[in-house]
Amino acid sequence: MNLSLYFVTPDGAEGLEQLVAAAVRGGATLVQLRDKQRSDAELIPLARRLVAALDAQGVPLIVNDRIEVVLASGAAGLHVGQGDLGVAEARRRIGPDRLLGLSVEAPEHLEALPLGIVDYVGAGPVRATASKPDHAPPIGFEGLARLVAAAPVPAVAIGGLGAGDAHAVKAAGAAGMAIVSAIGAAADPEAAARALALEWGRA
């Protein structure tokens, strides 16, 4: 599990498979399929195609909040939020071998976290972001550092991140940064991912 450049797909994106392929060519190390608009029935064949393509690249596919899609597609893991399926139940259903991630926004979310259940946490939002309008209040890099320090597992920073942020994210102790718009909305997603991967490596 390499969290350094964690690409989260934009909701309802057209040409999603081409976008994911470009992000991975550029250096994305993990991909999360997040789509609140499509149904499970629509996402399952898409996820299956993504799994086949990403397996060949050695890049895991994580599915956001759709456990049936994970189980039907053979995806590498599931990511859940605070309002989604509980992590103990999620772990029971996906089994011990798949990755399980959890979004955390405050220290109390970590205090309530059972040990040995999740593999990583998504910490944030660091900044306000249009890609998730219902997000919690931004925590900034100081808040990120506090969450990372309290987390019993690796943390990936999320929320309005992009070019120029790698040094601050790494200084906060995070294992990587989750990117949505800085790759998904870029004119050249492959080049955007490559620049972010290079920046992370130099930070």
Active-site residue numbers? 34, 103, 132
DSSP code per residue over 43-87: HHHHHHHHHHHHHTTT--EEEES-HHHHHHHT-SEEEE-TTSS-H
Which one-letter DSSP state was computed for residue 90? H
User: Residue 185's CB: how many other CB atoms inside 10 A?
Assistant: 15
Q: For residues 21 and 95, give the distance between their C-alpha atoms in angstroms, rounded to a whole number.
A: 28
Which are the contacts of 76, defined by CB distance < 8 A and separation ≥ 6?
Answer: 51, 60, 61, 62, 98, 99
Helices (H) and strands (E) in the chain, counts: 9, 8
Q: How far is the C-alpha of 53 from the C-alpha of 73, rounded, in Å?
A: 12
Q: Residue 154: helix, strand or coil by DSSP?
A: coil
| Region of 95 on the Ramachandran plot (φ > 0 left; ψ -120 to 50 alpha; else beta) | left
